[in-house]
Amino acid sequence: MSDATDATDARTPAQIEADIKNRRADLADTLDEIGVRLHPSTIVGDAKAKVAAAVDQTAGRAFVAVNGAVVGVRAKFVSPDGAPRLERVIPVALVAVGLVGLLAVSAKRRRG
């Protein structure tokens, strides 16, 4: 006979019962964990957490992109010392006033 068989044969009935009791407890714990993982509220909670993480990540990326765009535009119209760059601000303001004027004339023609 092999050593493993000899070791198994050397166990007392009390040791075998204790092993069975331990294995049953381990199995019960495993089944409880499976039950928790497969419970609908757990599945819904996990799905909500994944969606929330994806939304947070997307919102973070959008914020970084918008912030970069704002900083880039601001750099074009404001000098590093904080003073407005009139050589760029005045033409943009004139174009904006012209567009508003065209829209007002266009709206007046539609009504009248």
List pLDDT tens digits, range 90-100. 999 999 999 99
Burial class (CB in 10 A: 0-12, 13-18, 19+), 23: exposed
pLDDT-above-90 percentage for the chain: 81
What is the separation, in whole angstroms, between the first and last Cα of the chain?
A: 111
Report pLDDT digits (tens) over 6-44: 555 689 999 999 999 999 999 999 999 999 999 999 999
pLDDT at position 111, please? 86
Per-residue pLDDT, averaged over 74-103, amounts to 93
